[in-house]
Chain A
Amino acid sequence: MIDLKNFKSYLNKTESPYGLSAFRIILGSLSFISLFRYIYFGWVEKFFYKPSVHLKYPGFSWVESLPSPYMDYFLYGLMILSFLFVIGWKYRLVAPSLFIGFLYVHLIDQSLYLNHYYLVSLLLFIMIFLPADAALNIFKKNRVEVRNWHYSLLRFQIGAVYFFAGLAKLTRDWLFEAQPMNLWLGNLVDMPLIGGLLDEIFVQYIFAWSGFLYDLSIPFWLLWSRSRPYAFCVVIVFHTFTSLFFPIGLFPYIMTFCALIFFKPDWPLKIFKIDNEKEKSLKVLSPEFKGIRVFLVSLYVFLQVSLPLRHFLYPGNVLWTEEGMRFSWKVMVREKNGSVTFRVRDSDTGVEWFEESHNYLEDYQVAEMSGIPDMILQMAHVIGKKYKKEGRKVEVFVDSKASLNGRKFVQMIDPKVNLLEKKYSLKAFDFILPEPKTKPFKIKPLRKGL
């Protein structure tokens, strides 16, 4: 365990570079697979070429997708960079290029936001500053001894995902209503062998509580050397189940492989029986954890702790208002479905008409936007801009209904508010109506013989 009194000397302690380099290979491979999936499944066309409008991240409205076929070429380029990252060639150049490229792809449209792509982006960012090319690299003759802070920073990042995902489950819905687990598992009756158990309410409570306890505590069990092997087995079992139950793609694999960073840094030597004797004579020390490094790492850690907690600064339930929802590891904590119709009024004539989101957005963008107020606001401005270009003065209102975790749907946004008068800012939105206070409905188990 970490001796807090000598925390700094602990962070500066030299360590085997093999664990870090193995992490480089893992992360590069996951990045490669993520990008390959865009090409393989035809998502480049669907997500980048086809949409006429991209819903932007605040502050990144200038990020545009490349026209066809350049986005394909760009993704192929990123796949090559991922491969170079894996083999460790020109690491100092490849690592930042891959990070910027990966980030660019995922900044184009916020309806494509996924926690695990955000995580991969953060890890690629951290890796820019770490000597992860020190070992398992045929292009490097001198083996660099890395330091404990390199591992600690990555462990912090992976641990933060789990811990804040656990904290996000500390809600009445999750713990005392087993929602949305009841809706998800109750409809998974096709699952072989255990399908019949999944619509039992006690099983749904077991899943909800185990998920909560797992997320909250697993980083600590992985940190403790005595519990680590068992904890890693639990990680494997947990993520195998989540990948079977839920359509969360690469997330379980990313979390399982990334958990290897918690093992002793020389684990690859032991597993793959690599002879390290010769290499010891060539060792070079990496820089110590002091000065500007302490400041930058502390700033990063502060940001990573603040972002998931920022929703406490906003009134209301974050799952309803979505203020502080993104970049905060609120992974799979809500089932929300919305219905949105925009109403445009010509300010001069008073004539009103409906504007269909489908005229601007693809189906998946509409589905994502329908439950998220800041995306609805952005869409209202897209509509407003269209009419402004035509020289018309209009007001845009929205009829927005949403159901949260199985509750009956209610109005989410005040239909009397002209959204063109509202701008995105870090302040709380005043046009979001209060969340439903009722208890969520639970679906009952099905029995044969309707």
Chain B
Amino acid sequence: MKKFLILTLVTVSGWGALETGSLIYNHVSRAESASDVRRELVVDFLRSVVLPKVEEFSALVDDFDQEVQNTCSSSHDLFSLENKMAEVYKSYSFLEAVKFGGLQDPVRAFDIEINPLFGDFSSCIIDKQVAKLAKKPDGFVLDTVRKSRKGLSAIEYLITDQDLNHSCSGSVPQTKSWNEKSESDKKKFRCGYLKLLSSDLKLRSDQLRAEWSPSQGDLVGDIDSNSMGNSSQDLLNQVSDGLYFIELFVKDAKLATPIGLKEDCSGRICKQAFERKSLRYSMQTISQNLNGFLSVFIGNLNHEGNKKGFYSLLKQLGREDIALEIFENVLQAKSAADLILSRNLSFSDIEAEGYKNCRAQERSMMCDIYTPVNNATSVFKTDFYSVLNLRKPNDAPMDND
């Protein structure tokens, strides 16, 4: 009897140990599996969407820089560079909405370095730099120049502004004797400053490429192998932090302000608040920003092994409705922006249509972009954050009880 009891006890204990072991093993594997799903999603998105865009952007910057150097050593006709510049801007506009890694790092502030749009940009301070360069061509060091005086917006101004004279001598005394220079000198010095700006842009785009390139920094590879030690939730948070660009910059700065929905231009259209100097380019950047935002939800459909971005994750969690609602609204906004682009409209067409309260039934063309973006960001800030238990950018880095 005793032997029987011992045998039973040993058998039951052995069986229990095996079952427990197997249960723990299963759940450990499941933990890895669920964590992997999130990590894979982020890695796939970075590899199939962001990395090719970074490469494209860097290649376009290389090309643009080469063209600047060529043009400036021959004709000094900067206007001929406009199309190349537009391509660079277009590519960057996509990346703006999918900030990750160096694109997001506030210390390096890569985005501000190359796009000081929302800083204190003014054409007079660019003129001032050109005049300073003209005065002391050898002693001019771009590194000491403030961020708001270089980057894409400064480049755009030099290329698209055809008036070679300066009109800021009152506020910027350095430009006083500028207008007395010959036209060829004016072109030469503007070209000189553009060359510096273009080389600076190339330097930064090279840094970005180095960070992402599989043969150098291999950011995506590091994330994939988890060598940086980020949890999959951290990675999702980093992606969602980047998406906040749509809320703060596209919705509020690029749309609401110029179309008179905010105090700055309340009740009127003010074209100086549009991002770019032409409506076409302004719409192009908005369209590309929205395109970038969409790509986070659907991935790169042309890419082999695409995981379809956040849509797949939310679908698996049982909340594909959130992804679809965001997707439909952003697509609608993008279509409205593309429609303006395809009709080749100008600021005066928008002005002619007049200010429209976007809550009214009769909506303006710009409200057709703003309203769905507003709807999408409402879902984004509420349901999307709740379901994925994400923290908002710069949320109080303290306890939460």
Residues of chain A lying within 8 A (CB to CB) of residue B34: 189, 195-196, 199, 445-448
Whether, in the assembled complex, A63 has its beta carbon less than 8 Å from a beta carbon of chain B, the answer is no
- Nearest B residue to A42 via CB reads B397
Task: Give Cα A351–Cα B27 distance, bound, in whole angstroms.
Answer: 60
A71: interface (CB < 8 Å): no
B253 to nearest A CB, angstroms?
Answer: 9
Nearest residue (CB) in B for A188 is B233
With the chains together, A402 CA to B29 CA distance in Å?
36
Query: Please, what's the 1-or-0 string for B18-58, where 1 marks a CB less than 8 Å from any CB in chain A?
Result: 00000010111111111111101100000000000000000
For residue A368, CB closer than 8 A to chain B, the reply is yes
Residue among B32, B252, B256 making CB contact with A196, cutoff 8 Å: B32
- The answer to whether the Cβ of A111 comes within 8 Å of any Cβ in the partner chain is yes
Return the contact of B38 from the options A111, A189, A250, A443 (Cβ within 8 A). A189
Binary flags per residue of B323-342, CB closer than 8 Å to A gives 1, else 0: 00000000000000000000
Pick from B312, B374, B396: contact of A364, CB under 8 Å:
B396
Interface pick from B3-11, B203-211, B377-385:
B377-385
* A-contact bits for B373-401, CB 8 A (1 contact / 0 none): 01001110111011111001111111111
Q: Per DSSP, are chain B's interface residues mostly helix, strand or loop, or mixed? A: helix
**Cβ distance B19 to chain A, nearest Cβ, rounded Å:** 15
Residues of A within 8 A of B29 (CB): 196
Q: How far is the CA of A396 from the CA of B260 in the complex (A)?
A: 17
Which residues in window 240-262 of A have CB below 8 A to B?
A: 246-251
- In the bound complex, CA of A389 to CA of B210 (Å): 52
Cβ distance A55 to chain B, nearest Cβ, rounded Å: 12
Measured in the bound complex, the distance between the Cα atoms of B29 and A114 in whole Å is: 37
Report the separation of the CA atoms of residues A186 and B396 in the bound assembly, to the nearest whole angstrom: 23
**Cβ of A69: which chain B residues have Cβ within 8 Å of it?**
none
| Binary interface encoding of chain B residues 354-390 relative to chain A, with 1 for a CB under 8 A from any of its CBs, else 0 | 0001000000000000000010011101110111110
Query: Which stretch of A72-80, A291-299, A329-337 is in the interface?
Result: A329-337
A355 at the interface (CB under 8 A from B): yes
Is A29 in contact with chain B by the CB < 8 A criterion?
no
Determine if B1 is an interface residue (Cβ-Cβ < 8 Å).
no
- How extensive is the interface on chain A, given as a class? 35 or more
Q: Mark A333-373, 1 if CB is under 8 A from B, else 0.
A: 00111110100100001011111101000111001101000
On whether the beta carbons of B401 and A332 are closer than 8 Å, the reply is yes
Q: Does A302 contact B (CB under 8 A)?
A: no
Could you say which residues of chain B place their CB within 8 Å of the CB of A46? 397
Q: Is A432 part of the contact surface with B, judged by Cβ < 8 Å? A: no
Q: A112-B396, A352-B357 are in contact. Are A337 and B401 (CB under 8 A)?
A: no
* A248 and B401 contacting across the interface, CB-CB below 8 Å: yes
Residue from the list A196, A198, A341, A363 in contact with B395, Cβ < 8 A = A363
List CB contacts (< 8 Å) of B277-335 with chain A: 307-308, 312-313, 316-319, 321
Kindly state whether residue A115 has any CB partner on chain B within 8 Å. Answer: yes
**Which of A46, A115, A356 has most B Cβ within 10 Å?**
A356
Whether B262 is near chain A, meaning CB under 8 Å from some CB there, is yes
B28 CB contacts on chain A under 8 angstroms: 193, 196
**Cα–Cα, bound, A401→B256 (Å):** 19
- A406/B378 in contact, CB under 8 A: no
The answer to the question of B266 belonging to the interface, with a C-beta cut-off of 8 Å to chain A, is yes
Taken together as a complex, chains A and B put the C-alpha atoms of A188 and B385 apart, in Å, by 14
A-B pairs with CB below 8 Å: how many?
A: 182
Instruction: Check A195–B395 contact: CB distance below 8 A.
Output: no
Residues of B within 8 A of A199 (CB): 34
Judged by a CB distance under 8 angstroms, whether B221 is at the interface is no
* Complex-state Cα separation, A403 to B390, whole angstroms: 14
A184 at the interface (CB under 8 A from B): yes
> B377 to nearest A CB, angstroms?
7
Give A51 Cβ to nearest chain B Cβ, in Å.
11
- The answer to whether A190 and B394 touch across the interface, beta carbons within 8 angstroms, is no
- Find B307's partner among A406, A446, A450 (CB 8 Å cutoff): A450
Q: For chain A, residues 106 to 126, give those with C-beta under 8 angstroms from any C-beta of chain B.
A: 111-112, 114-116
Contact of B382 among A186, A197, A403 (CB under 8 A): A403
A194 at the interface (CB under 8 A from B): yes
A361 to B26, CA, bound (A): 47
Min CB gap B43→A, angstroms? 12
Q: Which of A189, A331, A356 contacts B232 (CB 8 A)?
A: A189
* Contact among A339, A442, A450 for B381, CB-based, below 8 A: A339
Contacts of B266 in A (CB 8 A): 351-353
Selected contact of A249 from candidates B38, B231, B317, B398, CB within 8 Å: B398
In the complex, the answer to whether B233 meets A187 with C-beta atoms within 8 Å is yes
The answer to the question of B163 belonging to the interface, with a C-beta cut-off of 8 Å to chain A, is no
How far apart sit A358 and B381, CA to CA, in the bound complex (Å)?
14
Interface presence of B263 (CB below 8 A): yes
Distance to closest chain A CB from B384 (angstroms): 8
User: B233, A356: Cβ atoms under 8 Å?
Assistant: no
Identify the closest chain A residue to B248 (Cβ). A358
Is A269 close to B, CB under 8 A? no
> Knowing A114-B401, A355-B262, A450-B312 touch, does A441 contact B318 (C-beta < 8 A)?
yes
Question: A335–B400 Cα gap in the complex (Å)?
Answer: 11
A43: contacting residue among B263, B374, B398, CB under 8 A: B398
Within the complex, the shortest CB–CB distance from B320 to chain A, in Å, comes to: 11
Instruction: Determine if B316 and A450 form an interchain contact, defined as CB atoms under 8 angstroms apart.
Output: yes
- Report the minimal beta-carbon distance from B350 to chain A, rounded to whole angstroms: 17
- B41 engages A450 (CB within 8 Å): yes
What CA separation (Å) do A344 and B37 show in the bound complex? 45
B9 to chain A, nearest CB (A): 27
* CB pair B386 A187 closer than 8 Å: no
Cα–Cα distance between A37 and B383 once the two chains are bound (Å): 32
Is A251's CB under 8 angstroms from B399's CB? yes
CB-nearest residue of chain A relative to B244? A363
Q: Is there contact, CB below 8 Å, between B387 and A450?
A: no
B residues in contact with A406, CB < 8 Å: 386-387
B401→A447 contact, CB < 8 A: no
Which 8 pairs between the two chains have the least Cβ-Cβ distance?
A249-B399, A196-B30, A195-B31, A196-B31, A363-B394, A189-B34, A353-B266, A409-B382
B residues lining the A interface (CB < 8 Å): 24, 26-38, 40-41, 231-233, 248, 252, 256, 260-263, 266-267, 307-308, 312-313, 316-319, 321, 357, 374, 377-379, 381-383, 385-389, 392-401
Besides A336-B386, A356-B262, 19 other CB < 8 A contacts? Answer: A47-B396, A183-B389, A191-B31, A193-B28, A335-B386, A337-B385, A338-B381, A349-B267, A351-B266, A352-B357, A353-B267, A363-B394, A363-B395, A367-B392, A446-B37, A446-B313, A448-B34, A450-B40, A450-B316
